[in-house]
Amino acid sequence: MSFHESLLHILVADSAQLRSQLISTALSRRNGFHVSTCHLHFHEIAERVRSEPVDVLLAEVERHEDLEKDVEKLQQVHVTFPRLHMVLLASAYDQQLVTRAFRAGIRGLFCFSQGDFRSLCKCLQCVNRGEVWANSEQVNMLLDGVRHTSPTPGWNITSATGKSLLSPREGQVVALVADGLSNREIAAVLHLTENTVKKYVFRIFEKLGVSSRVELVRYAMASHEVRGMHSAVALS
């Protein structure tokens, strides 16, 4: 293995370029790290991932009020690049953010208030190995969220007149597709056959006029009718 191949390639994405530059400079000084930066915008991240080696995306959010919309951007990244490892660097978190972040495909949630720079480097290395980085409080928040929410929430997508375009079961399939699950994994969650899930996906494509899973998730997000974290959908 060459030296270049042994490097851990990190892309730091942030809305505040000065702060991200400070972090990227510090990471670059660590042996074995290669770091680049970009704005926290889906298209810019996608362009970088397609044009250069990226092992871990480190997304930093400076303002707490921006967390929800930035997590949605990262969910788009996860759907488009499901094998890309992602770490969210936040100044604070609560149960809703923890649950939403890990559902969006983020595999590490780090706060400098609870760990130093050396811990951040360890977090990036662990996530790159396919492990999940979460402290005991975050794990408890995830478990508590599982106990109090539906295990298979759905997305309600409506027309301009407010009419639901999908059945409750189809809404569940959309939510699981957005989580980055394969047809086989969706089948296991919903206790269906893989062939049945394929039929649901193709039917959803036809109803919404999309042709890929990425287009499906973008359509669902653009509808602004996401209800997966707020209401349970009855199982048929």
For residue 16, the one-letter residue type is A
Q: Answer whether residue 138 shows pLDDT above 60.
A: yes
Tell me the mean pLDDT in the region 40-59.
94
**Domain locations in the chain as residue ranges:** 3-146, 149-236
Q: Answer whether residue 223 shows pLDDT above 80.
A: no
Q: How far is CA 209 from the centre of its chain?
A: 24
Q: 64, 77, 65: which is closest to 13 by C-alpha?
A: 77
pLDDT band at 120, cuts 50/70/90? very high
Tell me whether domains 3-146 and 149-236 share a fold: no
- Six token digits for residue 165: 């375009």
Sign of the alpha-carbon dihedral angle for 222, 224, 229, 234: negative
pLDDT band at 46, cuts 50/70/90? very high
pLDDT band at 5, cuts 50/70/90? low
Straight-line distance from the first to the last Cα atom of the chain, in angstroms, rounded to the nearest whole number: 52
Domain 149-236 has CATH 1.10.10.10: yes
- Six token digits for residue 94: 């609560």
Which CATH entry fits the domain spanning 3-146: 3.30.70.260, 3.30.565.10, 3.30.360.10, 3.40.50.2300? 3.40.50.2300
Q: How far is CA 153 from the centre of its chain?
A: 16
In contact, 57 and 84? CB cutoff 8 Å: yes
Give the H or E element holding residue 176. helix 168-178
